């Protein structure tokens, strides 16, 4: 069993009980494989990461990043993140400002441990039966049912007039945004949705701030809009989950690895009000991403045909890691379950998925896409192949 190295940062941080008392980043099944940093003796291959938002499910992305950092054969050049994805991104950049992979892994552990510790104050917890049967969902939890009902009935300006946001406090405590802005090892792109125009705004460089990350995670049914430069912003997932175009404009690597935590396809028709709303949100949060993927593949095909000779375009290689059946089996209610056992379960799923992907596709990085994206789709089965087809790129 492996443990991620502890951070050597001297800055004081609170709320990360595991990191503070020396228990260290947790042991994982996937972590049985020892770190293989540059085992080939070659320079690491640059790659960009696209991190989706999804509440507690962002711990899956943490696991993927943790395994990539531990492996050492890939170098993260840029990260485009929304909501929980943006949080993973800024925590990573903070650690990489003056540290390496070990410090980044420890910092991510510390952040998610703090999230879990803060969640203990919430009345929304799994019941004894849920714990016994290892049910991570909260669909039948009375506190969650009441909470879910209130968010559909009352505005956050009414039930949360003080605009209390525990995640903002954790970010403020855990992340030094001056270090994030000054970090030259990784480029960070955070997206939020402009409430007035309905368009995505991408924050980068010195624009990446505490408010930008909080805006990226601002679900309008739960929190008041975040004002930045006198403009209100909501969750970035509505218009970019995540946005991909910054990689094309501002990063040198032609490879984009999408870490997908929101399923594109679900079997069955939702019939309850909650299930219908949840599926609408999933479709909405994936819609802008699918459009960008189609456009990228359209340009790629034009390049391969020679239609864009002499034009400033380059082929982009697309890759994907998802949670498979492990995430698909979870109800959207589990996104508010920040219990440490659940977060580490998701992290371990992410590590395992990254291990499999590295074993199968590392050699494809810089050479070819490993997912199939068609520019136009006519039937449902073809649409499913965008992100759901196993090894479609092969």
Question: Nearest Cα to 150, choosing from 275, 348, 142?
Answer: 142
Residue given tokens 């507690």 in the structure block:
56
How many beta carbons lie within 10 A of that of residue 304, not counting itself? 10
Q: How far apart are CA 238 and CA 216, in angstroms?
A: 10
Beta carbons of 329 and 269 less than 8 angstroms apart? no
How many beta carbons lie within 10 A of that of residue 251, not counting itself? 20
Q: How far apart are CA 24 and CA 145, in angstroms?
A: 35
Establish how many alpha carbons lie within 13 A of residue 354's alpha carbon, considering only the half-sphere containing its beta carbon. 30
Give the angle 146-147-150 at the CA atoms, nearest 5°: 85
How many beta carbons lie within 10 A of that of residue 329, not counting itself? 11
Strand partners, 267: none
pLDDT of residue 1: 39
First-to-last C-alpha distance (Å) of the chain: 32
DSSP readout, 341-355? Answer: HHHHHHHHHHHHHHH
| Residue 88 CA: distances (Å) to CA of 142, 213, 246, 253, 306 | 30, 10, 18, 20, 38
pLDDT of residue 5: 41
Residues of the chain with pLDDT under 70: 1-41, 374-394
pLDDT of residue 374: 61
For residue 379, the 8-state DSSP code is S
Beta carbons of 58 and 267 less than 8 angstroms apart? no
For residue 7, the 8-state DSSP code is P
pLDDT of residue 148: 86
| Residue 345 CA: distances (Å) to CA of 63, 260, 297 | 9, 17, 34
Q: How far apart are CA 87 and CA 267, in angstroms?
A: 30
């Amino acid at each position: 069993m492996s443990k991620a190295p502890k951070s050597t940062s001297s800055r004081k941080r609170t709320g990360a009980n595991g990191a503070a008392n020396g228990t260290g980043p947790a042991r994982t099944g996937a972590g049985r494989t020892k770190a293989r940093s540059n085992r080939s003796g070659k320079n690491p291959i640059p790659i960009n990461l696209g991190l989706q938002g999804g509440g507690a499910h962002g711990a899956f992305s943490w696991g993927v990043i943790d395994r990539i950092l531990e492996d050492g054969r890939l170098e993260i050049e840029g990260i485009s993140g929304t909501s929980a994805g943006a949080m993973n991104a800024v925590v990573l950049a903070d650690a990489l400002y003056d540290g390496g992979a070990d410090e980044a892994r420890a910092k991510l552990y510390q952040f998610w441990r703090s999230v879990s510790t803060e969640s203990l104050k919430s009345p929304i917890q799994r019941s004894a039966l849920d714990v016994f049967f290892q049910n991570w969902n909260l669909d039948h939890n009375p506190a969650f049912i009441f909470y879910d009902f209130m968010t559909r009935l009352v505005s956050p300006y009414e039930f949360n007039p003080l605009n209390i946001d525990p995640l903002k406090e954790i970010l403020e405590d855990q992340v030094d945004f001056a270090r994030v802005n000054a970090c030259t090892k990784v480029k960070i792109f955070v997206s939020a949705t402009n409430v007035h125009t309905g368009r995505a705004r991408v924050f980068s460089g010195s624009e990446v701030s505490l408010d930008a990350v909080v805006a990226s995670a601002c679900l309008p049914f739960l929190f008041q809009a975040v004002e930045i430069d006198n403009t209100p912003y909501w969750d970035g997932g509505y218009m970019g989950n995540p946005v991909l175009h910054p990689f094309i404009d501002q990063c040198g690597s032609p490879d984009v690895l999408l870490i997908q935590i929101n399923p594109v396809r679900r079997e069955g028709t939702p019939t309850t009000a909650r299930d219908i709303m949840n599926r609408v949100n999933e479709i909405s949060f994936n819609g802008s991403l699918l459009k960008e993927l189609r456009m990228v593949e359209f340009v790629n095909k034009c390049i391969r045909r020679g239609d864009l000779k002499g034009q400033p375009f380059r082929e982009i290689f697309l890759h994907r890691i998802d949670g498979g059946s492990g995430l698909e089996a979870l109800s959207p209610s589990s996104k508010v379950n920040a219990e440490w056992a659940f977060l580490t379960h998701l992290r371990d799923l992410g590590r395992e998925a990254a291990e499999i992907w590295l074993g199968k596709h590392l050699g494809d990085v810089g050479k070819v896409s490993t997912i199939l994206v068609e520019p136009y789709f006519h039937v449902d089965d073809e649409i499913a192949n965008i992100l759901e087809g196993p090894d479609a790129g092969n």
